Amino acid sequence: MSDAADAVVVGGGTVGAWCAYFLRQAGLARVVLIEKGLLGQGASSRAAGVVRMQGGTPEAVRLGQWSRRFYLSQRDEIGTDSGFTEQGYLLPCFTEAEVAAAHARMEMQAALGVPVRWLDPGEVDAINPTLAPGQTLGGTFCAQDGFITPPRNVAAYTVALIRSGVEVRERVAFRGLEAGGRGVEAEGRGVEAEGRGLETEGRGVAVETSQGPIHTGLVVLTGGPKLAEVGRLAGLRIPAGGARHQVAVTERHPDLDRARVPMVFDLAAGLYWRPEEGGLLFGMSNPDEPPGENREVDEEYLAKMRARLAALVPVTAGLGLRRLWAATIDFTPDHLPIIGRAPGLDGVTVACAGGAGMMWGPGVARAAADVALTGSSDVLDVSPLGLDRFDEAGHSRLATDPIALPFPERIASS
Ligand SMILES: Cc1cc2nc3c(=O)[nH]c(=O)nc-3n(C[C@H](O)[C@H](O)[C@H](O)COP(=O)(O)OP(=O)(O)OC[C@H]3O[C@@H](n4cnc5c(N)ncnc54)[C@H](O)[C@@H]3O)c2cc1C
């Protein structure tokens, strides 16, 4: 089988799928999405769904703002949505150093338009009556932060892909790129994107797949926790990794009613929680665990997560668990996204949400689509976020996003 497309997107997670949708929306006639398994079967269907604008860097804030706006606009745009629920997000502080860092962060976030405010210790206890009182030195709170329902997000992008006419090919694996393919532009079938000229220069590339080559002028590579592997197949070294991440949901309890529990991120510990169907959903990675793919539940570490949660939310101590899972979460060395053209490969763009694909995914996807089409984006300035920020050893020139789960800093493939 040999065929052609205006653009080929690799990976049917939230980044690749929304990117394919945005490329189609931009006017490309034939967009093909290839997914080696089923849509959403990577990290995207297994996430906790937390969406926050309270990012640790301006890039994180902008991506959070854009994605949240997109979630709110979905119903009008595609007829369904990812289930965004405005819950409010509290980041409590336990030390004076955390208080100072939180105030500096809040200033940056407020300057970018995030309605974040400081709560003193009494206000923290009042807003969250399930929290053991008198524990914090205060915290930052944003009422507009919230969560999506990850499986619903997969359903929403599936609808968007089908309705917009993206050609979805499940169970088709990406195997590599062959330069000089016969792009559809070369055949005169390319469509000029409205307001954004195509920059494929007619050279084209052959995307090698398990079902034969697809000739195209534009390729977007995604892969979440498998992005390094996808990159290797394309001849690229991408310093992205995967690490085990565990999520559990407690039984219901009247104290855990949605109206009484904001989302909370115990940043120093790396533990977060939010209400879920009358119980509490909580999640965490073990920062001392070597990176790599892992979906087995670690009961020993779960006990540590539960102990920390029970110290802060005592009502959870006696509650059973209704659901429990472990999955591989993507990460980058600086916990920031990767959005940029692949060095040395014409027409190839790389996109990764760096472990924040629920809160940043649509923004990363739209920015990647823009970069693929024009080289820049109005979502945010992507110029610092390309692969050229990493040195040979995978170290980033950028400061690490301080509001991130404590993932391993090492990259499995390095
Ligand atoms: C347990 C857990 C909880 C999380 N909680 C949150 C949260 O609360 N908030 C948040 O913002 N983020 C969260 N995340 C992170 C978020 O889920 C990811 O950042 C996001 O899903 C990444 O999306 P993606 O499209 O890049 O990757 P994925 O969803 O993994 O999709 C990549 C796809 O590429 C496919 N693929 C790989 N190799 C190939 C190939 N060779 N050919 C074709 N296809 C290929 C895979 O099969 C996969 O479907 C969580 C992740 C986990 C695991």
**pLDDT tens-place string over residues 127-145:** 999 999 999 999 999 999 9
The identity of residue 176, as a single letter, is: G
The pLDDT value given to residue 2? 58
pTM of the entire predicted model? 0.94
- What spacing in Å lies between the alpha carbon of 317 and ligand 1's midpoint? 31
The pLDDT value given to residue 409? 63
Check if 36 has its Cβ closer than 6 Å to any atom of ligand 1.
yes
- What spacing in Å lies between the alpha carbon of 12 and ligand 1's midpoint? 9
**What SS3 state is found at 22?**
helix
Test site for ligand 1: of 358, 364, 401, 413, most ligand atoms within 8 A of the Cβ: 358
Which residue, among 267, 408, 404, has the nearest Cα to 337 in the 3D structure?
A: 404
List, in sequence order, every residue forming a beta bridge with 146; answer none if it has no partner.
51, 86
Phi/psi region, residue 106 (left: phi>0; alpha: psi -120 to 50; beta: rest), is: alpha
Check if 240 has its Cβ closer than 6 Å to any atom of ligand 1.
no
Q: Between 361-374 and 58-78, two packed helices, what is the crossing angle to 10 degrees?
A: 90
The pLDDT value given to residue 411? 55
Q: Which long-range contacts (CB under 8 A, 24 or more apart) does 108-114 make?
A: 108/58, 108/61, 109/53, 109/54, 109/55, 109/61, 109/142, 112/58, 112/61, 112/62, 112/65, 113/65, 114/53, 114/54, 114/61, 114/65, 114/142, 114/144
The token pair that represents 263 in the structure block: 């989302």
For the CA of 230, the closest atom of ligand 1 is 41
The pLDDT value given to residue 189? 32
Check if 208 has its Cβ closer than 6 Å to any atom of ligand 1.
no
- What spacing in Å lies between the alpha carbon of 242 and ligand 1's midpoint? 10
Question: What DSSP string describes 229-276?
Answer: HHHHHTT-----EEEEEEEEEEPP-GGG-GGG--EEEETTTTEEEEEE
Element at 227 (helix H, strand E): helix 227-233
C-beta atoms surrounding 28 within 10 Å? 27
- Which residues in the chain land under pLDDT 50? 1, 182-202, 412-414
The token pair that represents 331 in the structure block: 């990460």
The pLDDT value given to residue 201? 45
What does residue 103 show for φ and ψ, rounded to 5 degrees? -65, -40
Phi/psi region, residue 142 (left: phi>0; alpha: psi -120 to 50; beta: rest), is: beta
Tell me if 263 sits within 8 A of 256, measured CB to CB.
no
For the CA of 11, the closest atom of ligand 1 is 34
Tell me the H-state helices in 45-185: 58-78, 96-111, 121-127, 150-164
Q: Report residue 265 CA to chain centroid gap.
A: 17
Which residue, among 363, 381, 371, has the nearest Cα to 15 in the 3D structure?
A: 363
**What SS3 state is found at 219?**
strand
Which residue, among 407, 399, 338, 398, has the nearest Cα to 368 in the 3D structure?
A: 338
The pLDDT value given to residue 194? 34
Question: In 357-373, which positions are buried (b, 16+ CB within 10 angstroms) versus exposed (e)?
Answer: bbbbbbbbbbbbbbbbb
Tell me if 63 sits within 8 A of 364, measured CB to CB.
yes
Check if 39 has its Cβ closer than 6 Å to any atom of ligand 1.
no
For the CA of 175, the closest atom of ligand 1 is 41
